Amino acid sequence: MKKVVLIVALALAACGREPVDSAPGAVAPVEESEPAYEPSARDIALSQPPTPVFAPTPQMNARRGRILFISNGCVICHRVNGVGGLAAPDLSAVDAPDEVDPLEFSARMWRGAPAMSALQTIELGYVIELSAQNIADLAAFAASPDEQQLLVADSVSDEMRTWFVDERYWMTGEWEQYRQRGEKIPNMTIEEP
């Protein structure tokens, strides 16, 4: 019996509680209770689910996206329906998705932004500025096999076709040819690494 009482006393001590006097007839000391926890306004706010934030989604238009794809020069580096450059990912749609997420499309663009900005600066002399509406329309075009079928070589001017980046220099680091081209653009300076 003493062995059991000793084990219980040690276990209570390990938990930060005072052991009870194991002598027969001993009265356990009365513990003072801790004050009740009063959550602060911040604690209450943090325990609640966040208030939903609603953002308007632009009306997406694959036809406008196709026009932007050409007029903004995206076709110089990206290929769709066999038309365009090879320097960036092919954006040909295989199957029409159930829905198009312009935020996901924007996130994919963001991941490629450093290379895309560098190529735009070299090829065009500036970085393309896109609005939320532009990105939504480009996302719709990238997901529309029907609209992509309308993009044919004759959709792109002869002059713009000469600017197609036909090799993946950005992957091999062989940028010299494109640096030289970029230096010919008026008011264009390229910092050397």
pTM of the model: 0.64
SS3 category, 48? coil
Mean pLDDT of 157-179: 73
Q: What is the pLDDT of residue 141?
A: 95
Q: What is the pLDDT of residue 119?
A: 81
34 has a pLDDT exceeding 90: no
Helix (H) or strand (E) holding 79: strand 79-80
Domain regions of the chain by residue span: 62-183
User: What's the pLDDT tens digit per position in 69-119?
Assistant: 999 999 999 999 999 999 888 899 876 666 788 889 999 899 888 888 888
- Measured between alpha carbons, how far is 160 from 138 in angstroms, rounded to an integer? 19
